[in-house]
Amino acid sequence: MELGDLVYIPQGVEMWRPLDNGMKMIITDKPVTGVFIKHDTTYIYQVYTDGEWQVQKKHVYPMERAC
């Protein structure tokens, strides 16, 4: 995956981001579309969907190209 690729994240997936005093975590309550930013580690992607979030790679799917 490359910077700027559109991605699909299903319902029920944990997403988190570090804060100065800990970490914020959410669980998606519906499927979301995001933008791939980078590989944080072998198993973690950083994506943008209503802010920057870290997500397990196994829960991030590339959107198919329309053209």
Q: Over the stretch 25-55, which tens digit does the pLDDT of each residue have?
A: 999 999 999 999 999 888 999 999 999 999 9
Q: What is the 3-state secondary structure (H, E, C) of 2-67?
A: CCCCEEEECCCCEEEEEECCEEEEEECCCCEEEEEEEECCCCEEEEECCCEEEEEHHHCEECCCCC
- What DSSP designation does 63 have? P
Confidence at residue 43, expressed as pLDDT on a 0 to 100 scale: 95
Question: Domains of the chain by range and CATH?
Answer: 6-62 (2.30.30)
Q: Which amino acid is at 60?
A: V
pTM: 0.84
pLDDT digits (tens, 9 = 90+) for 7-16: 999 999 999 9
